[in-house]
Amino acid sequence: MKKILFLTLLSGSGLLHGQTLFHNEARISEVKLVFEQQNWDHILDSLYVAGDKDRLLAAAWVDGVYYDSIGVRYKGFSSVSVDRHKNPFNIKLDYILDQSHFGVDKIKLGNVIQDPSFVREIVSYKVARNYMPASLANYCNVYINKVFWGVYTSIESVDRSFLAQHFGSSYGSFIKGNPSTVDLNGGNSNLSNSPGTDSADYYDLYELKSDLGWAAFYNLIDKLNNDPSALEDVLNVDRTLWMHALNYTLVNFDSYIGYAQNYYLYEDQNGQFNPILWDMNQSFGSFRLTDASDFYRGFTVEEAKTMDPMAHVNSFSVHPRPLIRNVINTDQRKRMYLAHIRAIVEEYFANGAYKNELEALQERIKTDVSRDTNKFYSYADFLLNKTSTVQDLVTYPGITDLMDARSVYLLNYKGISPQGAPSISVPVGVKSKNSFQVTTTTDAASDVYLYYRDQSGAVFSRVVMRDDGGSGDNQAKDGVYGAVVPTSGKNIDYYVYAENDSSGTFSPTNAAYNFYEIREVKQLVINEFCASNSSVIADENEDYEDWIELYNNGDTSISLQGYTLSDDLNDLEKWSFSDTSVAPEAYVLIWADDDDEDGPLHTNFKLASGGEAIYLSYQGEVVDEITFGGQTTDVTSGRHPNGTGPFVLMEATPSAFNDGQRISITPLESPTFRVFPNPLSGRFYVESNMSGTAVLMNAQGQTVLTTTINKGVNALDASLLVSGMYFLSIRNETSVAHKKIIKQ
């Protein structure tokens, strides 16, 4: 048998992530909207004024891929105006048809109205993603009826796919903290209990995004306001500290620290609500209003540079801020919070790294910004605002002018300053059969703690690390701290926190979102998966279903008795294997088709092409896992090198060696086809400029025909179809096109 080794790795967030093809800040995407109505803008204006969420039917090319029957409406509140040409859009690709762009079914386009520099939102989300779950973001050039409409930002939706990727499940209570109307003299979504004791009292202040959850949400509010000592039972406190740290460091006051809005809360498998940032387009001092008494009428650019990160704790808040005051309510939490700010400042701003990011982003979009005649600021302002203040209806701080001064201020703030803060060497973890040991060397620390867990996604437990010569450390009082924890778990996540009277330090610095891990070299792994299979491989019933491939890295057979597969961290034993075995260096293919009655290798769940997670477990313990973003039809994600490497997008190799033939997407400019005659009766013809798979669906979304289409003219037979409306779709690896047809 191959020897099993233990490895210590620094994790991205504890999960191995797949790739996504749309939200990619390294390139500018292209969205071309096509409205049949010439007065499309008047119709969208009317829908917005009416206050409903109806959509206007349209078509679109997204990076050269055609989508028919999409739904379009404006998004947001303050960024929309019927007097503007450049309004933000919410585009629902699956409005009528079941379609998505590499797994993305909703595209949210921001019009960059509060940012002359065009970079605030993109940079802010990129910084945030290193410390907590946060949306992907990129730029889009938008065209409407062949007219260039401008440069937009596109932000990944916080939806079920986002939740599944980051939390392993998407069915917990899910709340958006945005009042139906923002009250500049009110508490808004501040999580106080002042509205009342009935969950109905909160309906106008928060939006329930899940099917259920008001009771759990009110329990959070009750604990937060009336029993803060029990807060960790219902709130991820560390994640909350990170949200505040990011908002204060980035001077992002259009958030909880300003008028208490623009955030989500998601209840994870542990029963803890996790805050999620949203709407960061006015960061870096673009929005400067708060109801903290010191700046009740707003603050200036100069005051933004020295904004106290403890403002809502050290001064009076006009309206309650329990998510700050009742969370940063102990000296230790204060030190942890300030340590998070130190990490952000040192890793992005004090070293000037963010300036390279600003420069690269502006260089990438400057040509398109210069031809954007609908933008709200001049091209000169675009270039200037990166470094210097731009004056408009409000004053927009120069980003480098603001953040260079703010970095100096924060790094001299007691508790943030690196002077006197504990140092921590990279902790060394060793796993034996029934225990786990960690040692680290620290300086200037009075207390050192090990945080660990042996179950994926579980709450971290905490033990004291000691320098006493009897805790797995070296000698007493030599600066080496140790801890030995009894556990039979094979996989361990851990991090270390050290503090003294004034400061705290984490290792890694972006804990607990990131952490160290000990993993066995896996014998049985998830090796490849396909979340949208239309033509790669059919099951024994000749159906094209989602599939998951497992691979045995070892030199002995593995019985799958006791192994389970799931797409839900809350239910790891969702589907169990029958008595199946995998030979050495062999594969087994499982059909994720939500139809386990089809056979022993058919699961009771499907994969979401928009992104989620897959868990392979043994007797309730996760042995391998993958979270993935949006996938595209007939393109798989697989390990390269085979069996051991990271996941890459690749040409499908079901039950075969992953040879690393990575997919290169070359979109068609205008993927189109025509059907004649239409309406049709019997034999009809499809003339297409692309080859691929043709799928004919009825009005109820049921597939009635699947066949191969070649470039050119193809003959099909509709004589057995009943009269009615149908949708014909032709798709391949890079493109999809749709057309409505009528059977007489």
Residue 581: CATH number of its domain? 2.60.40.1260
**Residue 559 and residue 501 share a domain:** no
Is residue 538 domain-resident?
yes
Cα dist from 739 to 69, 691, 736, whole Å: 9, 15, 11
Model confidence pLDDT, tens digit, residues 392-438: 888 999 999 999 999 999 999 999 999 999 999 999 999 988 999 99
* Span of 421-425, 606-610, 636-640, 647-651 with lowest mean pLDDT: 647-651
Model confidence pLDDT, tens digit, residues 36-64: 999 999 999 999 999 878 999 999 999 88
Indicate the pairing of strand 692-698 with strand 724-731. Answer: antiparallel
pLDDT at 22: 85
Confidence band, pLDDT 50/70/90 cuts, at residue 15:
very low
pTM of the model: 0.85
Confidence band, pLDDT 50/70/90 cuts, at residue 379:
very high
Is residue 619 domain-resident?
yes
Q: How many CB atoms lie within 10 A of CB 707?
A: 12
Examine the pLDDT at 629 and tell me if it is beyond 90.
no
Is residue 487 domain-resident?
yes
pLDDT at 660: 64
**Residue 690 and residue 583 share a domain:** no
Which helix (H) or strand (E) is 449 found in, with range?
A: strand 447-453
Cis peptide before 116 (omega within 30 of 0): no
d(CA 656, CA 225): 57
- ∠ CA 241-245-250, rounded to 5°: 155
Confidence band, pLDDT 50/70/90 cuts, at residue 669:
very low
Confidence band, pLDDT 50/70/90 cuts, at residue 488:
confident
**Residue 563 and residue 580 share a domain:** yes
Cα dist from 495 to 221, 265, 449, 483, whole Å: 30, 25, 9, 12
d(CA 162, CA 20): 12
Query: Which residues lie below 8 Å from residue 181, measured CB to CB, with a gap of 6+?
Result: 204
pLDDT at 482: 97
**Residue 600 and residue 568 share a domain:** yes
Is residue 361 domain-resident?
no
Sign, CA dihedral 476-482-483-489, equals negative
Q: What is the DSSP string of 48-103?
A: HHHT----EEEEEEETTEEEEEEEEEE--STT--TT-S---EEEETTSSSS--BTT
Domain span at 476 = 423-520
**Residue 562 and residue 457 share a domain:** no
Residue of 521 and 74 predicted with greater confidence: 74
Closest CA to 109 of 58, 149, 145, 49: 149
Indicate the pairing of strand 395-396 with strand 558-559. Answer: unpaired
Model confidence pLDDT, tens digit, residues 243-293: 999 999 999 999 999 999 999 999 999 999 999 999 999 999 999 988 777
Model confidence pLDDT, tens digit, residues 490-501: 889 999 999 999
Confidence band, pLDDT 50/70/90 cuts, at residue 704:
confident
**Residue 590 and residue 701 share a domain:** no
Q: Above pLDDT 70, what percent of the chain?
A: 94
* Summary mean pLDDT of the chain: 90
Is residue 440 domain-resident?
yes
Closest CA to 557 of 599, 516, 585: 585
Last residue of a domain, one of 483, 504, 520: 520
Which tokens in the block code for residue 261?
């809005």
Is residue 464 domain-resident?
yes
The count of domains in the chain is: 3
pLDDT at 1: 30
Is residue 323 domain-resident?
no
In this structure, are residues 575 and 604 in contact, taking their beta carbons and an 8 Å threshold?
yes
The 3 state secondary structure assigned to 136-174 is CEEEEEEEECCEEEEEEEEECCCCHHHHHHHHCCCCCCE
Examine the pLDDT at 190 and tell me if it is beyond 50.
yes
d(CA 10, CA 517): 6
**Residue 629 and residue 530 share a domain:** yes
Residue of 734 and 332 predicted with greater confidence: 332
**Residue 643 and residue 530 share a domain:** yes
Q: Above pLDDT 90, what percent of the chain?
A: 71
In this structure, are residues 743 and 704 in contact, taking their beta carbons and an 8 Å threshold?
no
Is residue 386 domain-resident?
no
Confidence band, pLDDT 50/70/90 cuts, at residue 113:
very high
**Residue 635 and residue 529 share a domain:** yes
Backbone φ, ψ for residue 65 (5° rounding): -100, 130
Examine the pLDDT at 227 and tell me if it is beyond 80.
yes
Residue of 393 and 377 predicted with greater confidence: 377
* Span of 173-177, 457-461, 530-534, 716-720 with lowest mean pLDDT: 716-720
**Residue 639 and residue 529 share a domain:** yes
Burial class (CB in 10 A: 0-12, 13-18, 19+), 698: middle
Last residue of a domain, one of 520, 538, 572: 520
d(CA 116, CA 369): 10
Last residue of a domain, one of 618, 650, 682: 650
Confidence band, pLDDT 50/70/90 cuts, at residue 734:
low
Model confidence pLDDT, tens digit, residues 292-329: 778 877 899 999 999 999 999 998 888 999 999 999 99
Residue 496: CATH number of its domain? 2.60.40.10
**Residue 495 and residue 531 share a domain:** no
pLDDT at 71: 96
Residue 718: CATH number of its domain? 2.60.40.3080
**Residue 566 and residue 484 share a domain:** no
Residue of 12 and 701 predicted with greater confidence: 701
Examine the pLDDT at 700 and tell me if it is beyond 80.
no
pLDDT at 236: 98
Give SS3 for 231. helix
Radius of gyration of the chain (CA): 27
The 3 state secondary structure assigned to 94-138 is CCCCCCCECCECEEEEECCCCCCCCCHHHHHHHHHCCCCCCCCEE
Q: How many CB atoms lie within 10 A of CB 423?
A: 14
Phi-psi region of 687 (alpha: psi -120 to 50; beta: other; left: phi over 0): beta
Q: How many CB atoms lie within 10 A of CB 371?
A: 12
Cα(first)–Cα(last) distance of the chain, in Å?
A: 66
